[in-house]
Every structure is written in structure tokens, then in C-alpha cells.
Amino acid sequence: MSAGLVGQAASHFLRAKWRWRTLRGARLHAYQEQRAQRIIDYAQQNSPFYRNLWRGHNLDDWRTLPTVDKAAMMANFDTFNTHGIGRAAATDIALHAEHTRDFQPTIGGLTVGLSSGTSGHRGLFLVSQAEQAAWAGVILARVLHRLPRGRLRVAFFLRSHSNLYAQASGLLIDLRYFDLMTPLPEAVTALNLYQPQIIVAPPSLLGFLAGSHTTGALRVHPDRLISVAEVLEPQDRDRLSTVFQAPVHEIYQCTEGVLAISCAHGSLHIQEDIVALQCESLPPAPAYPLTPSSIRRVTPIITDLWRRTQPIIRYRLNDVLQLDDRRCTCGNSFRVLAAIEGRQDDVCYFVEPAGGRRAFFPDTIRRMVLLSDPAIVDYQAIQVRDGHLCLHLAVTDPTCFATVAASVRANVTATVAAYGCHRPDLQIEQGLAPTPPGSKRRRVQRLGSL
């Protein structure tokens, strides 16, 4: 990073710290309004896509503007971005980087990359150098809860590297990239040599590292683990925290920007000075009595308050979030996510007697499986049509699988019946289905048409 960009990152770091301490209530709302209007004015002048989309709409009332999504962004990529970068040229750069594992090349001075595409539709993103510096400053301000003594060693596991992530490495941290495709024994050896103080990785990879730590092969003692890229389920958090004797935090980030980061108290705060997040409540669905009344399920519509190269304005995500209406004990007023459940495409449905269908969200599926028998150590749930569910179970003792399967069948059947649905068509298999190398783990999947 050049001296100028280092200065920009440092400025964003200090300002992010200030906003975290001071923005709340009417002051936060006014800040979001001011930032959003700037971005909308810029997009109106520089993005032909948005200019056409907003024709006839009141731009001052930006919270009611038409929504966009990934399909619209990708279909109109050439006119969506404000630099006139063509989708074909940007895709070529990104794919070449993925194949060669050289993530340095840019296009028109812009960093280009591909999301991992859990839904099968990969997102293409463009980021300017100034936006990279801003991202680095904010990430450092929010992830480093206190200034380290010396450079902090951070091991960062992702499917692909990016100039964006490289910007975070500097005076405060030594960020070392580890390719997710690296064989586990090689990664363990490298970690033993590096001795990271923080490990950032998808929870599935952290789980493999926990196994190596338990056997004694991995000899590191990080101060903190940060989960990214996949859904972090409660049982995974508990296991990782126990094995490493360290807190497990999260960064919720996607192609569309940074959405939420854990505070020092462990709460996953929406980064409300970076994104204006509007929440649409999802229809009522079965929930276990243990779920606090303060938690409600929503799907987010986000407006990035900073990005200009690829403006994200009233962008509808496909995620299912649990929003916790309680204030965090850290004292910050930014809203808190109790959990990121997964994607709306992975909501399962069971059939009601009158012919209707009732939604069962991923968290409900998880609970009714894992609470069936303590011998279950992992699971996958796949639905291909309403009323059907195929469960893959990993158990502590394979010889007891029949007993565990019977418990699961009884609990799932009773739970589905308790919510007024027909008996499910349930298939239970021993062992987990293989996950292709480099792909995200999805424990609950809906494969059939909605």
C-alpha cells in the first residue's frame, strides 16, 4: 500500500473508532441520511443502470426506491458499475486469478473478484484503491478491540486472496493468507511455524483445525478465532471455544460489503455507519420455546454508505437473519444479529392438512435434529420437495446408528406434527455427504423448486 493509501486507511481507522463511540439515535439516522444521499447522487450521475431504474421516483425518499438483487446486478454489470467496466473483461481477470492463484492483477486500476457463490450464482465485485483503504481502516478499527503491542499475527483462510485483503496488512497486523485448498497437514505445519494470535477462517476449516489441535498436531494457542464465509452454528461455536480456550467471533461479509462484526463482548453488530440495513420481517414459522421473544427473523435490504465503484443501493439479500432487539452490554447502539441462519432458498417446507405449506427455517431443522440424541456430532439436511427430508448423520458410535436414527425419526415426526403438518417423508443416512473441495458448507439445503 502506498504512503497515500496508508494515510487514508489510518484516517478511516480513527473515524471508524469515533463513529463507534458517538453515533446513536437521531445522530446515527442523520448520518445515514447524509451518506446515502451522497451515494445516490453519485450513482444517479455515473451509473446508467440506476439512472434508468429510478426514473420517475423521488430520490430524496431513498428508503422506498426500487430494490435490486444479485441477478439484476450481474445482468446489468456493464451499466451497474460507475467505471464502465465490462462484465466479460472483469470475469476474465477474476477467473485467471482463480486459476493461477495470482490475485494481483487489476482492471482499470480496480480490484476485481468473484464471490464463492453458495447459491450457484457467483457475484462479481469491483473495488477502487480508495475503497480498499477505507475497508482496511474500518476492519482494523472494528476487529482490533484494543491496539496490539507490536504487529498482530493473523492467519487468514479463504478460497481466494484479493488486493482488498492485502490492504489490511501493515503497521498494526501481519496478515498471512492461507489458501483453503492447501492440504490440512501443510496448513497445520505452516500455522505451527507462524503461531498466529488470531485465526480467521470458515467454521468448517476451524473444525478441522480443532481436530488437529485435539490430537496434538496443531500446537497454536490463538487469542481469538473469527468465523467467516459460512454459517456458524451454536454447537460449532461451543466446540471451537472449548478446544482452543478462546472466544469465537464473526465477520458477516459478502460481495455486497461488510454487514456485521463481533464486538469485544461477542455480539454481532450490524455496521450501521457502513451500511444502512432495512429489515423485512419473514412470515411466522415454527420456533423452539427456547428462542427469546426479543429475537425475530428478517431478510435484509442493504444500502452501502461508502461504495461508489459498484453502488449497492436498496439491494435485497437472500439471507435469513435473526435480529435481536436487545441492546448489547458493550454499550454500543448498533443493532445486534443473534444469528445468521442461512439463505431463504434453504428454508424447508412441510405440508398442512388443508393443502398449504409451512416454512421450517434452518435453525428449526438444526434444533429438531441435534436435540434428538446427544450421540449426533454432525448432520446435513436436504429437501428436494415439500414434506420430504433426507438427513445425513455423523454419530459418536456407528454401531448405535440404528438407535440414534430411531430417536431422530421420532423427534422430527413429532415436531412436524406439533406444527399441524402431515407426517414427513423422512430418509436417514449414516455418514455425511461429501463436500466438493473449496465449496462452502451448507448443512441445510433446499434443492427443489420453491
Gap between the terminal Cα atoms of the chain: 46
Q: Could you give the domains of the chain?
A: 347-446 (3.30.300)
- Residue 433 burial by Cβ neighbours in a 10 Å radius (0-12, 13-18, 19+): exposed
- pTM for the whole thing? 0.86
Q: Are strands 295-304 and 319-324 parallel, antiparallel or unpaired?
A: antiparallel
112/109 Cα distance (integer angstroms): 9
For 428, phi then psi, to 5°, come to: -125, 125
Q: What is the pLDDT of residue 342?
A: 84
145/125 Cα distance (integer angstroms): 28
- Residue 333 burial by Cβ neighbours in a 10 Å radius (0-12, 13-18, 19+): middle
pLDDT at 448 over 70: no
pLDDT at 118 over 60: no
Query: What are residue 300's DSSP bridge partners?
Result: 279
111/70 Cα distance (integer angstroms): 19
From residue 424, give the alpha-carbon distance in Å to each of 126, 351, 416, 446. Answer: 45, 8, 7, 15
**For 395-410, what is the mean pLDDT?**
93
pLDDT at 165 over 80: no
98/191 Cα distance (integer angstroms): 23
Q: Diameter of the chain by CA atoms? A: 67
pLDDT at 166 over 60: no
Quote the cell numbers at residue 255.
Answer: 460481495
Q: Are strands 152-158 and 319-324 parallel, antiparallel or unpaired?
A: unpaired
* The residue count for the chain: 450
pLDDT at 148 over 80: no
Three-state secondary structure call for residue 71: helix
406/413 Cα distance (integer angstroms): 11
Quote the cell numbers at residue 10.
Answer: 489510518
For residue 274, count other CB atoms closer than 10 A to its CB.
25
More confidently predicted of 114 and 210: 210
Question: To the nearest 5 percent, what fractions of the chain are helix, strand and coil?
Answer: 35, 25, 40
Looking from the CA of 364 toward its CB, the CA atoms found within 13 Å total 22
Q: What is the pLDDT of residue 99?
A: 67
pLDDT in tens, 297-322: 899 999 999 999 999 999 999 899 99
84/422 Cα distance (integer angstroms): 53
Provide CB contacts within 8 A for 422, sequence distance 6+. Answer: 350, 351, 352, 353, 387, 416
Residue 77: name the closest of 255, 300, 277, 259 by CA.
255
pLDDT at 295 over 80: no
Query: What are residue 73's DSSP bridge partners?
Result: none
pLDDT at 82 over 80: yes
Given a contact cutoff of 8 angstroms between Cβ atoms, the answer to whether 145 and 263 are in contact is yes
Q: What is the pLDDT of residue 119?
A: 45
Q: What is the mean pLDDT of the chain?
A: 87
Percent residues over pLDDT 90 in the chain:
57
Q: What is the pLDDT of residue 116?
A: 57
Quote the cell numbers at residue 86.
Answer: 465490462
153/100 Cα distance (integer angstroms): 26
pLDDT at 128 over 80: yes
User: Using 50, 70 and 90 to split pLDDT, how confident is the model at 120?
Assistant: very low
Given a contact cutoff of 8 angstroms between Cβ atoms, the answer to whether 237 and 244 are in contact is no
pLDDT at 7 over 90: no
Residue 132: name the closest of 114, 150, 112 by CA.
112
